[in-house]
Amino acid sequence: MSRIAATFARLGAQGRLGLIAYLTVGYPRLDATPALVEAAAESGADAIELGIPFSDPLADGRTIQAASQQALKGGVTVGRALEAASAARKKTEVPLLFMTYLNPILAFGLEPYGTASDKANLIAKTMTFFGP
């Protein structure tokens, strides 16, 4: 059973809702991401969504836009986000999910992204796409 399936099964058995925390990878600094993931898990997050910053985050609110801009200024890339997620995985067993836009993934490469995110033990990868 996957981590996410096990988490939702546990929540259902306990009759409670889950808490999914959201963190922008690289905010406030890239090296802080694994520790922030660990802190969120220790504080009760049932799963953690890691946002890969994007330069044109149209679907995000002001807070995530500002965090993304700071992370990008700090040098966060898809590759570095994958490395941070891999380091975070070593600190917790809670499900880790990536959230991003399609554009950075296409620039990184779909196959390399899938392979690297699987290697980092990310259980889900969600993307926002604004197509014609």
Instruction: Please write the tens of the pLDDT for every residue from 76-131.
Output: 999 999 999 999 999 999 999 989 888 899 999 989 998 988 888 776 666 666 55
Active site residues: 49, 60
pLDDT at 132 over 60: no
Nearest to 18 by CA among 10, 27, 26: 10
Q: What is the DSSP string of 37-102?
A: HHHHHHTT-SEEEEEPP-S--TTS-HHHHHHHHHHHHTT--HHHHHHHHHHHHTT--S-EEEEEEH
Length of the chain counted residue by residue: 132
How far are the Cα atoms of 9, 43, 85, 89 from residue 1, in angstroms, in the given order? 10, 24, 21, 17
pLDDT of the residue at 93: 92
Bridge partners, 50 (sequence order): 23, 98
Instruction: Please write the tens of the pLDDT for every residue from 29-56.
Output: 999 999 999 999 999 999 999 999 998 8
DSSP secondary structure letter of residue 31: G
